[in-house]
Structure 1
Amino acid sequence: MATSGSNTTFDLSPKALVGVGVGLVALGGASYLLYRHLTRDVMPQKWRRVGTVERIHFFPVKSCAPLQISQPGVGYDCDVLSMSFEGIRDRTLMVVNDKNEMITARVYPHMTQIQSKKISPSKLLFSVQELPDLELDFENLESSGKDVHTSVWGVPVDAMPCGDRINKWFSQAILNKESGLKLVHYPYPISVRSKNPRLKDMPFLRQEDSGTFNDATSFMLMNLSSVADLNKRLKNPVDVLQFRGNFELKMDVDEPYAEDNWQWLRIGEDAVFRSVAPCTRCIFPNINVKTAERDPDGEPLKTLRSYRLFNYSSPALGIHLGLRVPGKVKANDVVYVEDK
């Protein structure tokens, strides 16, 4: 099965594809490129194992710490919108300022120290040093009901405010002030944002891959072999969590940057992902996840720029994924890629 858009499905057998290919080559170069696009976007029939999922992360609030989950072996649901765990979703909350502009740890590194844990299917408990804990109940938000018109990297999206009590706590936690910031909630069951314009040339990226308040796509994978290779080049090794991937892949055979060449991934028995773009890096990985301090030497971004820049304006590490078949994933699941 292959898709050339969000609503069109092609069922082409291998023999049919060969016939189509012969005919299209005769039509000229443009048609042949179309044929290549169709055949490259066909979901693989054969898979090969490359490793296992070491850890899974997701972040209820954009730029804040990952959700704390104490139960071992839990499964996470992956659908086209995002990853979720018992009703709590990845990056469905975002902080904005009084002008409704997105606020991230790139400017306010202390955001990475705001912890969250699930206390019921609809409730999160936020904690940070210096402040009492804050409970947020998605089913009982103290909201005015008026949309907040905001954007993620210039792409407009409307959100719902979470209420003055929540806003005050996040203003205190981030700005050390009584006001100035708002927490907003993504209210939609599907992705409504357009593609990130920086990824406009990525042919397999779909609009629905944009997710909730994610920078680019709903899912991102980090190869631990790639991070280990980077750390060999650094005076002070970095924690892989500084790259904020959803899936941390432990390779069966140490192979840094193998992910650069993968097109399809399957995690566990059901969830299938398309590799849609490399993850190009900003200054965020320079923030120590334990202390919220920026690296004074601009690492690891400085070193990444020396050998992972390619033709991009920023260095690449990790891959953005678009979900093609929903499913449940958990730590220690086997990760497969297309068997060429």
Structure 2
Amino acid sequence: MKIAFFNTKRYDQRSFVEINADYGHELTFFEPRLTPDTASLASGFPAVCVFINDEVGEETLRAIAATGTQLIALRCAGFNNVNLDVAQDLGITVVRVPAYSPYAVAEHAVGLIMTLNRKLYRAYNRVRDDNFALDGLLGFDLHGKTVGVVGTGKIGQCFAQIMNGFGCKILAYDVRPNPVCQEIGVEYVELPMLLTRSDIISLHCPLLPSTHHLINEESLQHLRPGAMLINTSRGGLIDTNAVIEAIKSGRVGYFGIDVYEREGGLFFEDLSDTVIQDDTFQLLQSFPNVVITAHQAFFTKEALHNIAKTTLSNISEVEAGQDCINQVKSI
């Protein structure tokens, strides 16, 4: 099948070309994101492959459907950027990669915790300047702390298992408790209780209408002063302006994110020679107790291999008229 890949980098091309040796699809790679303005590039391609920051709303969908596209293959787990209702009406099939490496994302979340707690970013820069003073680098033992896990799918489960290994008490909130988590002693509670009792809160749930701004001005009031908040899931789970006010007041003592609700046009690009126009993002970067990474939690060799393999397998199954377990349908 002819597939148009949008929003691609060299590492995407390498992994997909390598895996495609087993599938034999015709791959064409485009650097721009898929948007209404770039939809014409998909002309003549029955399948397009997109990433998290591509704009697959109604306008884009109607444009690509008009030129022959019948399949959208997401090379990611999230699908909130796709208008599933319109896709269904147009007869466009949507598939995704629900799990590529839960370990990669979970381990990155732990990395953010360690970086914030032990001030590793400050320590690294100090030593490079021959400053070996320890003032301002004081951290705390993770052992014995209470960690709240919001969302206990595969990634949340892996994260809970890692933090359990540190000797933390684990609380969790999910509409469907995970038996594996329960076996290691995870206690399921309602979200307000989790926020109230946790020293560290880590988000591992999908972005849905029901979870948009799950962390907001009201829910932040439940946090114990100085709590650590981590997000490696989707930026829209957090009301950024509300968190900024909570950082200023001391309600949030540490903030580590790998995602940002307005990351489109920022993340995955080199903007070092430009003036970023997002004042909210710039303000976040100014706080000493905030660490931001640019959506790299998924970025391991194993994950890229699994993403390419699952994506191409999904496309092959749809092309063959088979049921694809990874198809996403409108509710």
TM-score range, shorter chain: under 0.3
Give 1 or 2: higher strand fraction. Answer: 1
Give 1 or 2: higher helix fraction. Answer: 2
TM-score by length of 1: 0.24
TM-score by length of 2: 0.24
Higher relative contact order (CA 8 A, sep 6+): 1
